[in-house]
Amino acid sequence: MSVPGPLSAGAADVLTLGETMVALRGSGPLKLGGSLDVSVAGAESNVAIGLSRLGHTVRWAGAVGDDEAGELVLRTLRAEGVDVASATRDAHAPTGLILFEPRLPEVTRVHYYRAGSAGSRLAPDAVEAAFAGAATPRVLHLTGITPALGPSAAESCRLALHLAREHGTQVCLDVNFRSRLWSAQEAAAELRTWIPYVDVLIASDDELPLCLPPEGTPAGVSPERYLLDAGVREVVVKLGAQGATAHTAEGTLHAPAREVRAVDAVGAGDAFVAGHLSGLLDGTDLPTRLARAVTTGAFAVASPGDWEGAPTRAELPLLEATGGTVLR
């Protein structure tokens, strides 16, 4: 059953698909009880919200349960300007759940309750609908999380890659490896087959091997060079507090991280992706889009929550303000 969204059925700047869950955030060890803050979370929808706040049109093709948790997910995305016309409700599976447990000032444990969820049963026909008619997106954004959820979700991703190729849609892959969902061997076996379709690859440095051949790269060939030679146009490596480095056929560019007081690192990678894709959609050069990416990532680090701190375009210059500034 399709869910009507707030935008027209025309082409979106970006199409993304994956699972968005209800998120419960505790203030300490879960076993001690206490209160929980309720929100939603999902890597792909975090990127979608980040892009929407930056002024881009985004369509989210995911599945939620036919339940109140699913209504929260859809209501939140609609409120953030994300088109959910291609989302579906699954009457036979629940909306997934994620618990965040702050355990130390800089250590948060995450507990998933998503096995057999509606998101894990995302069907390929939802992807077909998202590409149908005049709905061809300019960019398809995928992560390595969705294919780990189940066979149907993985098949949906593969179909999306093929449809993107047919329609001339650029593909962005954020590797986003989750060891609690699948092993490194399983992830590599799947993601290696995606590389011929990928235009922009975003990964942390320890995730790059998941995209390489089992035997590794030839002697003297870096992972980044191998991927560029394989057809990837940009390889962007996230380095956390050290910033990020982008590799293209023209050369390598590094951008240091923006200095902010860290509050919550969860969602920073998704905010980074949103910033980089925003620059790509705007047609900016590589230094500009990499600078925007580290800026949006810094906003996420400086704010609690997965997506709540994502900046609008008008807010991007705020990081230039000196500490203690009051804007009146």
Averaged pLDDT, groups of 10, the chain, 328 residues long: 39 93 91 91 97 96 96 98 94 96 81 94 92 82 97 97 96 96 96 98 96 89 95 96 94 91 81 97 96 94 87 91 61
Of 259, 290, 253, give the one whose Cα is nearest residue 272: 290
All structural domains of the chain, each given as residue ranges with its CATH number in brackets, are: 14-311 (3.40.1190.20)
Concerning whether 90 is annotated as a catalytic residue, the answer is no
Q: Which residues, in sequence order, are CB contacts of 96 under 8 Å at separation 6+?
A: 19, 20, 21, 22, 112, 113, 114, 117, 118, 119, 120
Half-sphere exposure of 293 (CA within 13 A, CB side): 29
pTM over 0.95: no
Quick one: pLDDT at residue 184?
A: 96
Q: At 8, phi and psi to the nearest 5?
A: -75, 170
Task: Kindly write down the DSSP assignment for every residue of 260-305, as one continuous string.
Answer: ---S--TTHHHHHHHHHHHHHHHT--HHHHHHHHHHHHHHHHTSSS
Can you give the pLDDT at residue 327? 58
- Report the distance separating Cα 138 and Cα 92, nearest Å: 33
**How many Å from the N-terminal Cα to the C-terminal Cα in the chain?**
47
CA dist., res. 147 & res. 110, Å (int): 19
pLDDT value for 1:
34
**Quick one: pLDDT at residue 27?**
84
- The C-alpha atoms of residue 257 and residue 289 are separated, in whole angstroms, by 14
Distances in Å between the alpha carbon of 195 and those of 92, 158, 198, 199? Answer: 34, 11, 5, 8
Contact indicator for 65, 93 with CB cutoff of 8 Å: yes
Q: For residue 56, give the DSSP letter.
A: -
The catalytic residue among 270, 282, 285, 306 is 270
Using an 8 Å Cβ cutoff, are 268 and 244 in contact? no
pLDDT at 266: 78
Report residue 191 as tokens.
Answer: 């993601």
* Nearest one of 151, 235, 161 to 193, comparing CA atoms: 161
